[in-house]
Structure 1
Amino acid sequence: MLVENESRLLTPAQEIAHGPWRLQLRGDELAEIEYRGRPVLRAIRAVVRDHDWRTLSPTVESVTASGEAAILNMVLAIRFTGFGCEYTAELALQASGNDLHVYFDGTAKQDFRSNRIGLVVLHRPDDAGRDVTITSPEHAETKGAFPPEISPHQPFVDIAAMSWERDGTAFRLDFSGDVFETEDQRNWTDASFKTYSPPLSRPFPVNIHVGHQIHQSVRLSAAPSAPLATAFVRPPATEVLTVRKDVRGSVPALGTSASQSAVKLPFLPGLEALIVEVPGSVPAAAAALLAHASGQAAELGTRLDVRIIAAAAADIPPVMDLLPLGNVVRIGTFSSQGHVAEPELWEQLRNEAKRLGFAGALLSGARAHFTELNRRRDSIRADADAITYSITPQMHATEVPHIVESVPMQRQTALNALLLGSGKPLHVGPVTLKARFNAVATDGAYDPATLDAMTSDPLQAEEFTAAWLLGSIYALTVPGVESISYFEASGPRGLIRAEGSLTPSFEIMAKLATLRGADVLHVDGAVPGLVLYPVASRTGMLLFAANLTADALKTAVKLEGGYARILDIPAWSAIIRPLS
């Protein structure tokens, strides 16, 4: 395990408790904020983002704490760096009685352009549907609710304060230093709604000069309607998990993406398709990419899923003429700027497919996050055979808890996409640990010299990623999700390492690819952090299990009407066991 990965996976959170408040200090993040043992907020943290929405990396240089019986004070000195930018800040926490204050005092250490600097509040995803009252800077009150379905645009704007009730307690957030607004971060598979500043209605980026200071604060207050003696007891974990014989879904088709790596690939039975993204505006590059991808598809024993990235409709015919159509299962086209199937591109693709007699599926939607599909619903063409969007769990944060928490949100995006598509088959992917490109960049694509560093995660070849992969497959095992494509075939973003050895993720993919369409059974009971994926194969019952925690898990699992067996699963890993 790389030292960097060990730090990310094994560093424990620091528990902080004062009076009725409990939270965790995870690096620079004040996480899992609880009041009287009940969850309130996912987190409060400070962020610094550059002109391309890239998040500067925070380093906590010191933590000082002081307190007495009535008040707890803690101050974090944080240095933010990256992308040629540097910023320093103090993040102060003060807990007193039923109030929790967080203060941000930041100073620019050099000139740079920025889209956002300051505090963000992450609300819990289970607040979906909860009533909330928004107070404007002019003290006007507006009633609303956190949206149950993923909202394409900001559900709340012009915020000076917001209040809601949860678990018998009235909570209120008061903001100072700027006007705030809220967005639905489930669009990017984050497990949160986020309240932030400045509002997106203001022009950005803005020029930040050395010495420029920003001061903000958030006050979280609680007003319980029940006595403090009222205890909250967490339900115990299930002692024995039971795999029932009724079916909850079927194993979706699995695929991967072409890579630039030249390593020879193994035959992978059952792999549904190999995605290749082709730049239509660069014919020579398109030809080279297609030739390389065709060779990789032949080695893997699969066909191509072609995504044409076009600046104009005229980019599409030359690429179509290059395609080995007999070995292509799907074709889609997406704008190189907006990343969706624009009308003029779609019409050109449909006409070219008809001219060439292409018998496969035509794909519309977005090549970027669910966000783009949700905000550009017109990209779901009425005459498309299927739709698509991609997933990456690190749009806003790189910490392992955020990556893990994205798993159930992936199911939410799929369910919403199926509603938007009115039942059209859904092909999810590419699903990658890091973004393949910056969909919100103002300066264009990644510099080729830094491409691998920007798009590759050192966790790629670790056991952790196999566990996360299985969790993702579990989440996306939804009727209507026809296929899911993960990572690249080989290289730094691959199922196979650059030198040709197999990653733990490859082992999970290879086994499940052969089980396409097999029944996935229902499981009664739950253990936090444990994913169970029981598959009824032709040769018996196979149990795929993943541990998405930093501790080894030991639990009993039995088949309905049968005997229990004990599963021992190491931290951050996935296993396959017979269960019959």
Structure 2
Amino acid sequence: MTDTATAPAGSGPASDWRAGEERHPIESTGWSLEVIDASLDHISYRGTRILRALRVIVRDRDWRTVPAVLDALETTVDGAATVVTLRAHHDDLGARAHWTATLRLDQGRLDLSVDLGVDSDFLRNRIGIVALHPTDLASIPLAVTHPDASTTSTVFPVEISPHQPAVDIAGLAWHTGVFDVALRFEGDVFEMEDQRNWTDASYKTYSTPLGLPFPVDVGPGDAVGQSVTVTVAPGGAADPAPVASEHGIVADAARVPSVTVGAATAPGTPGARPAWLHGAGVLVELDLRDPGWTRALARARRDAGSSPLDVRLIAVDPSQLDHAVAALCGVPVARLAVFDAARHITTAPLWERLRDLATREPVLGLLVGGTRGHFTELNRTHAELPRDVGGVTFSITPQMHDLSTDQVVESLVEQRRVALQASRIADGRPVHVGPVTLRARFNAVATSPWAAGPADVDAFGYGAEHVWNSTDPRQGSDEYATWLLASFVALSTGAVESVALAEAWGPRGFGSVDGVPAPAASVLAWLVEVQGAPVVALDAAALPDGVFALAARLASGTVLLVANTSQAPVSFSLLGAPVSLAPFARARLLLP
């Protein structure tokens, strides 16, 4: 038996997935790239990928990326070279700026110069050019030129680097296996970070070193001028760069992780418990500083039905835990964690208080810890993690830096990478991932003062409901349902025992407050059916690139779940069954 969904289907139109994206391909003098909105993406030279992207970014005091709007794109010819001029502006979050970027493409050389003007008073953490390097450069030697013309040698990291792989950068050079590539930056000092920490498929070289004070006041009349030059030349004899795998990803954990959903943070009250929540637990985050946390707990209990809760407490002081733990007495709890409200990690004083209270109060459930934030925070602070935590936590959003659909899709491979590295950090303990949300549900790096949420969460919502840009219009699309299945498969590896997905209901959830399911609700039902079941081994090499598959053994037979996240139709065979899927389609097959 086969259940197949092929976009467009369900209540979400296919256009939601790439709605509003402007894509302009450019090919000249051996170079090829795409202008996607105001970003220069997928930059290759004579068929060899050189850079993932070049961008001009404005980041406000809370590290939020102020969206860039492309106003004009012009292409002219200057002798043998092609010149592309982009004009764009930023106008959101109280920050207004405009810029002109001139891109010159010539044989073996790319020049990008940017002149940016500030149009309003605001606090910025960063303004300028960023260069994104593809992750298939992992392990490649990297030469770093510093502003004083000295050089050092390093490599593009294989393991996800918690801190900057290179700092004090004026230039970079590496060998692709075909070409010698060199970058030269002007206008500021640059440094590099490993964006795989946030499930971005890139290393990022950016301006304004983090060691400098931030945020900084800027205002009308302030200007930024920066440039980057990329040169590409045929390389000499050298070891070739590793070739990225061209096959899919399969679930390879011993058992299918258990499935939970994030508690709904939208306003409203469903008339009845949504049918799509049957069999799924609920993960609820309770900020004990907020006056509405007890009501948030009550809503989560209702949505969970008879399923246990995964409770994450957020506190400033250990004494705040007393009331919370008392409120959980008699509540079915699968897991219980506590995180520091400022650092978003499990700190020793909070952990010790939670552990002591849990031994005295009749609270069931495994005590876990780690971070409520990105894998980044776990990667950077796991040495501080109390040794007796029963499991390790982190969450995922693919859009910390980039809202594009390309980034959302590319993050799937990086989700497998962070799950495996988190499993190594856990060192024999289970890993609990989530919530996995398209957009950020809170700002882990904000410098603005914290503001309390409303007391009446039914009327006004809480948490993510009050976070800038937290709702993604792609949430209700059919393609998102396929993406969600692929995400779960990517995370079904290593020591991962549970995965929390999206929200129970509302604009960031599996359906509306009045009970109308989104396409993703069908995927949730598929995952609930197989959670905890033994995983049947699959051969990833049998899958086309961009395909994700999970097979689980049930009493009724083997359930095979498959998602095609590529933009091409695919046909292949798994466990003797033929599978054909349209672009961004998914299927459930029941095999004997």
The alignment's TM-score, normalised by the length of structure 1, stands at 0.91
- Equivalent position of 2:299 in the other structure: 292
Alignment of 1:387-398 (within 5 A): 387-398=392-403
User: What is the identity, as a one-letter code, of the residue corresponding to 2:193?
Assistant: E
Give, in whole Å, the separation in 2 of the partners of 1:80 and 1:278: 35
- Equivalent position of 1:74 in the other structure: 84
% identical equivalent positions:
34
SS in structure 2 opposite 1:153?
Answer: coil
1:472 aligns with 2:487: yes
- Equivalent position of 2:211 in the other structure: 201
Alignment of 1:477-492 (within 5 A): 477-492=492-507
Report if aligned partners of 2:178, 2:235 keep a CA contact under 8 Å in 1.
yes
1:440 aligns with 2:445: yes
1:353 aligns with 2:358: yes
SS in structure 1 opposite 2:373?
Answer: coil
Of residues 532-541 and 146-155 in structure 1, the stretch that sits farther from structure 2 once superposed is 532-541
- Equivalent position of 1:572 in the other structure: 584
Report if aligned partners of 1:554, 1:568 keep a CA contact under 8 Å in 2.
yes
User: What is the identity, as a one-letter code, of the residue corresponding to 1:103?
Assistant: S
Q: How far does residue 146 in structure 1 lie from its aligned partner after superposition?
A: 1.2
RMSD: 2.7
Give, in whole Å, the separation in 1 of the partners of 2:318 and 2:198: 29
Q: 1:96 aligns with which of 106, 114, 132?
A: 106
Q: 2:274 aligns with which of 245, 266, 273?
A: 266
Q: How far does residue 210 in structure 1 lie from its aligned partner after superposition?
A: 0.2
SS in structure 2 opposite 1:296?
Answer: helix
Which of the pair is proportionally richer in strand?
1
Q: How far does residue 430 in structure 1 lie from its aligned partner after superposition?
A: 0.9
Report if aligned partners of 2:277, 2:303 keep a CA contact under 8 Å in 1.
no
What is the aligned residue count?
A: 563
Report if aligned partners of 2:16, 2:473 keep a CA contact under 8 Å in 1.
no
Q: Go from structure 1 to structure 2 and tell me whether the alpha carbon gap of 1:468 and 1:4 turns closer, same or farther (over 3 Å shift).
A: closer
Give, in whole Å, the separation in 1 of the partners of 2:184 and 2:397: 32
Of residues 19-28 and 404-413 in structure 1, the stretch that sits farther from structure 2 once superposed is 19-28
- Equivalent position of 1:537 in the other structure: 554
Give, in whole Å, the separation in 2 of the partners of 1:324 and 1:351: 14
> Can you list the C-alpha shifts for 1:261-284, whole angstroms capped at 9, x where unaligned?
4112235687452111112234x5
Of residues 319-328 and 384-393 in structure 1, the stretch that sits farther from structure 2 once superposed is 319-328
- Equivalent position of 2:285 in the other structure: 277
User: What is the identity, as a one-letter code, of the residue corresponding to 1:171?
Assistant: V
Report if aligned partners of 1:438, 1:445 keep a CA contact under 8 Å in 2.
no
Alignment of 1:19-418 (within 5 A): 19-68=29-78, 70-225=80-235, 249-260=254-265, 261-263=268-270, 264-267=272-275, 271=279, 273-282=281-290, 284-298=291-305, 301-418=306-423
Q: How far does residue 534 in structure 1 lie from its aligned partner after superposition?
A: 3.5
Report if aligned partners of 2:285, 2:311 keep a CA contact under 8 Å in 1.
yes
Q: 1:515 aligns with which of 530, 533, 538?
A: 530
SS in structure 2 opposite 1:25?
Answer: strand
User: What is the identity, as a one-letter code, of the residue corresponding to 2:203?
Assistant: F
User: What is the identity, as a one-letter code, of the residue corresponding to 1:455?
Assistant: S
Give, in whole Å, the separation in 1 of the partners of 2:17 and 2:253: 37
Q: 1:459 aligns with which of 459, 466, 474?
A: 474
Report if aligned partners of 1:251, 1:520 keep a CA contact under 8 Å in 2.
no
Give, in whole Å, the separation in 2 of the partners of 1:215 and 1:247: 49
Of the two structures, which has the highest relative contact order with CA contacts closer than 8 Å and spacing of 6 or more?
2
> Can you list the C-alpha shifts for 1:479-538, whole angstroms capped at 9, x where unaligned?
310000001111111112232111111111111112122324313333343333343433
Report if aligned partners of 2:108, 2:233 keep a CA contact under 8 Å in 1.
yes
Q: Which runs of 5+ in 1 are unaligned?
A: none
SS in structure 2 opposite 1:496?
Answer: coil
> Can you list the C-alpha shifts for 1:74-109, whole angstroms capped at 9, x where unaligned?
000011121121110011110111111111110011
> Can you list the C-alpha shifts for 1:238-281, whole angstroms capped at 9, x where unaligned?
9xx999xx976532111012214411223568745211111223
Q: Which runs of 5+ in 2 are unaligned?
A: 1-10, 454-459
Q: How far does residue 10 in structure 1 lie from its aligned partner after superposition?
A: 7.8
